[in-house]
Structure 1
């Protein structure tokens, strides 16, 4: 089963390993969190993951249907909320500046919504979290 591993790299920087790739992140540069703005934050990567996933699905659809995707980009606007900390009001804009999508607009919307990250968000009903202590066993709550 694939996995991703994140570990503390000092200060408030974290290294995440995804396969052969290392991704660095920092926490927000606020007095509360103590980040220094050296790397994107975890929520930045979350939104970037959604944006790039939608872009890949749109690109594939355009290639299969002879739609000019030159210069295509996906932009996601969102707000950060507190108490509890979360992202809200996400809105996706798919830009196809060189395409005449015509009757394919609705299909492109459907394709965008079928990207793996979006489908995962929609289907999640919680997230099991296990805490492993020094024994290597799952700590009981």
Structure 2
């Protein structure tokens, strides 16, 4: 089964359907690239995918090892480059409230830094990831 199906709708928008679940999302070109910025842009989804993947992989490890992750949240920022237009840098500022010990925390951070999306991004994309323990 294909993962998803996407249709283009003018002006500069797409509608994607996750084929297994039927869930959908829309994208729009960003304001700085001829769009209206009404939805996530494709590059916004890339940045969002990185953080979602990090949290998911941490959750998988925590579940398998019966660990309570506590509360995780983050703010994301992307920096674009020109010529060619591409993502130059991604900043992920993770806030983590947890009662886990330092050894578990360090293991989970390592898992986050090595998630599949992080390893799939082009090496020229700077990944600035910070954890602020609360």
User: TM-score when scaled to structure 2?
Assistant: 0.72
**What is the rounded CA distance, in whole Å, between the counterparts of 1:62 and 1:97 in structure 2?**
14
Please report the RMSD computed on the Cα atoms of aligned residues, expressed in angstroms.
Answer: 2.5
Q: Is the 8 A contact 1:71 1:96 kept in 2?
A: yes
| Alignment-derived partner of residue 111 in structure 1 | 111
Alignment: residue pair count: 121
Gaps of 5+ in 1: 124-141
How much does 1:105 deviate? Answer: 3.2
| Alignment-derived partner of residue 53 in structure 1 | 53
User: Could you say what secondary structure the match of 1:11 adopts?
Assistant: coil
| Alignment-derived partner of residue 77 in structure 1 | 77
How much does 1:26 deviate? Answer: 0.5
**What is the rounded CA distance, in whole Å, between the counterparts of 2:119 and 2:108 in structure 1?**
15
Select between 40-49 and 96-105 the one with higher mean Cα deviation: 96-105
How much does 1:12 deviate? Answer: 1.8
User: Could you say what secondary structure the match of 1:14 adopts?
Assistant: strand
Aligned counterparts, 1:1-141, within 5 A? 2-19=2-19, 20-30=22-32, 33-121=33-121
| Alignment-derived partner of residue 138 in structure 1 | none
**What is the rounded CA distance, in whole Å, between the counterparts of 1:107 and 1:75 in structure 2?**
22
The superposition leaves residues 96-140 of structure 1 with CA deviations (integer Å, 9 ceiling, x where unpaired) of 2133441223311221133222233369xxxxxxxxxxxxxxxxx
Gaps of 5+ in 2: 124-134
How much does 1:58 deviate? Answer: 1.2
Q: Which has the higher contact order (CA 8 A, sep 6+)?
A: 2
